[in-house]
Each structure stands twice: as C-alpha cells, then as structure tokens.
Chain A
C-alpha cells in the first residue's frame, strides 16, 4: 500500500485533525438513497465524500447459461464497474483485473448476507457503476449494493455495512482519502460486517501494521460500520414509510386486479 507521499506531511495534527479537518474516527459525509431507478428490481445511490456509486439488483431470476445453476441455492453475480470518467486519467471501458477481483470479494460478502438457500436454481445479480472515485470505492459500492438488495425485497440475514480503516502518518484512522492512501506508511483495510452479529464478511489489507495497530483499526472499523448501517436503514425507512411508496404499492395492487378482470 505504501504510497509515494511526502514524509513531511502531517496526516494528523496536534489537535487530532486530519488533512481535510476530520477527526481520526470521523467518516466523510455519506448520503444513501434507495429506489432511484425505474427498471431495476431494486436500486440504490450512494455518495461517500467524492465517491459516487449506483447499484441495480435483478432477481432471483433464471440462471444463464443454465449449467451455472446451483440446485441448492441462488448464485450471486456482482459486477463492479468504473465509468471511464470516474478517475483522473480516462479509463478504458472494458473491465480490468482490479474490477474483476473487487466484483468477486463483493459477491462473497453479499452472499453471506442473502438467504440464497431460499432460491435454488436461480441467480441474483447486482450491477454497480462507480461514477466518481476518490478512495474507498469498493465500500461505497458495497453500501449501495446491500441497500439495493434490501430495496429489491431479497430476504437477508442483515444488511452488509462496511468501511475502510487504516493508517497514515503513523496514526490509525477511519475512511482514508486518496491523499491519505498516498502516505509513505499508508495501510488500507476495507472491511464489512453483518452488524447484528458482528460477523466479518469482507476483509482486505495492504500495508504494514503492528498487532496493536490492528486492534485499534479493527475496533474503529466496527464502530464506523455501525454508523454506515444506520444510514442504510434510515434510507430504507425513508423510502418505505413515505406516502409515495404506499401509493405505488396500491398502484401495483390495482394493476393486478385489472389483470384478473
């Protein structure tokens, strides 16, 4: 992980403030919206600092090609993709090795939450587009994906809530920015949990860390993930407690009646 950053930069100053003025355990501003797309079965849009991710969910639906189907459970298919304009240098549109690996770890993290055993022979798809990237896109993507699965009405043990913690300038901090990831001693630890049981469903790390630092980082991650969890729940509540959502359900009911007639 160790970046090319200047060793003279003070990543956390004497008053405990970071480069962008945050405290060590403070997250960037996060906004979660669910039900943002019309055609998808479920959808969510997340802004996390400068990161922007949109997720669409389909399913459970037929597995194609058929030989991929599992007779005991639904298979999760996750597609994490970056828009060519989401990064400083124009990115070629075809998915690279990084996007393929991230798709795999996200898929496994979500699989742990979804009650896949209820839908044998089927697949649940999650498509995520990163429209703006500024360190922490996989967790932004996962936050959106998990909320979109809930919006699609897919039964889950819990939402998946994640955060990236790590180290810069010798201090353990939450939610690293690009500038902090570039520190010469930077460590990045994306982590996600099922908050109600605290089970870890995603964990990656690159960089050098002592045991003590890990303990701090681990504790920090759990606390921070809890905040993300609350934002996800709030967004879902906002969507389904509002009058509009109720009206829509009624509309669907009416359409069904018409079909019966």
Chain B
C-alpha cells in the first residue's frame, strides 16, 4: 500500500515536532482547528446542519417519522443515528454497506447524544403503546480531513437544535407544517484525543489520525458531566494519561465547541 508508506514517513516528522511541543499545523496540543456550522441547509429535512472542522465536511439531516414504540418503553420516542463514510469523502473509503468504522462512528455519536439525554424522548409520545416519534439523524461524511467523531457529533447536535416537529393529523404527517421545535435538554460535545509516540493531542488532523496509535473520544454535557467514552486503536494509554484527559484536558479543549453550540438559534 503506497498510502501507508507515506503515513509511515510522515509519522517520524509529526513525532519529532511534537517532542518540541509543536504540531505540523501550528496548533497547541489542546487546540481545535477552525470550525463552522450552517443550519437549515436541506429543505426536506426537519432539521439540518453543514459542519466543517478543518477541511472535514459533514452534512447532517434529521427526519422525524411516526413508528410503533418498543414494548419495553411504550411512552417514549426513539432516536437513531446513522453515518455514511462514502468514497465522496476519501480515496480510501469504499462504497457499499457501512463497514465497521462507519458503524463505530455512528454508535459513538449516538451514545454521546443518547446518554446525555439531550432529546426529551418522553415528550415524543403521540399515543402510548401505539404511536411515537422516531428521530432519524443521518450523517454524510463529505470530506475526510481527520476527526470524524467530533465533527459528526457537532453536526448531529446542531441538526437536532435546528429540528422542528412536523404536524401530524389523522395518521398522516402534513408536509411543510410544524407544531414546534424538538424538545431538547441541554447539549453535549465530543472531544477526541489521539496518542502519537508519547504525545497526546486533541482534534487530530488527517495526518495525526493516520499515524496515531490510540484514540479516546469523550463526550461531556453542558453541566460538565462525562456522558460517554470510547477508546480506539491498538495502542495504549497509561492510567495517568486517561485521568489527565477526562478530569481536565477534555473540559478545556471542549470550551470553544460548547460556546458555539450553546449560542445556536433553536427552531
């Protein structure tokens, strides 16, 4: 694989820069790249967002659908997160059903939203035991420049903030009419740290994503509580490294994301 050979060559350079406390793009270890959120781009979606983080680009759309509730939660609506990593985003992504990377991405983003209890599923019941709203969040990765976890979480949350509930009458959704905004409780952000050699940095660029040995994504809510975590990669973190990330560094790094999410105009 020619591509892998290139990453191996870059690894030495990235590592030697990090040992001098520098990153290839000039950022500090706990600093995010520039990011931008555009709301309400797609008119058929009940809520949508287009997010760029560095050059990573994500299109997120929310569709609301009326479905039968699960037997063990007859009064609750549901949320479903799906992610597509199609070749649009990278020459190394393949077409076809989601592979394990895309499945992990969707499930980690899902947990960051679900465990923070952002969507108020109690308020999404139409007829108990019969009809509830399902909130489908679909994420399309359009350009892969590293750190899909944080970019997709940002896009998913922004799309949810932008979501309106369609009018539902006599068993039918009235297209283009709405009854209010999606009930939300607070928000969460995800921050992903990667380990390269003995160095740990947040918001990995494409190069850093490719040469990292281990990754940890931590979701925190607006109250400063931890909501979900996922470690990835074949490398390891020491107990001290983990402690430092989840008791301190994640909160500092997430500040700019939290500030922007907090100020998003709701529907």
List residues of chain A with CB under 8 Å of any chain B CB: 37-41, 50, 52, 54-56, 58, 61, 79, 81, 83-90, 93-94, 125, 127-129, 131-134
Contacts and interface: CB of A to CB of B under 8 A. Distances in A.
B95 to A, nearest CB: 5
Given A85-B138, A131-B140, A94 B44 contact: no
Given A50-B43, A58-B87, A86-B44, A37 B63 contact: no
A86 B62 CA distance: 10
Interface residues of B, number: 33
Given A85-B62, A87-B44, A39 B89 contact: yes
Nearest to B94: A64
B258 interface: no
A129 B86 contact: yes
Contacts of B143: 37-40
Contacts of B55: 38
A79 B89 CA distance: 13
Contacts of A50: 43-44
A248 to B, nearest CB: 13
A132 B42 contact: yes
Contacts of A128: 88
Contacts of A85: 42, 44-45, 48, 61-63, 136, 138
Interface in B131-179: 136, 138, 140, 142-145, 173, 175
Nearest to A58: B91
Contact of B140 (A83, A88, A134): A83
A84 B143 CA distance: 18
Interface in B32-88: 41-45, 48, 55, 57, 59, 61-63, 65, 82, 84, 86-88
B86 A81 contact: yes
A29 B250 CA distance: 45
B42 A131 contact: yes
Given A85-B45, A85-B48, A129 B140 contact: yes
B225 interface: no
A261 to B, nearest CB: 15
A79 B98 CA distance: 15
A87 B65 CA distance: 12
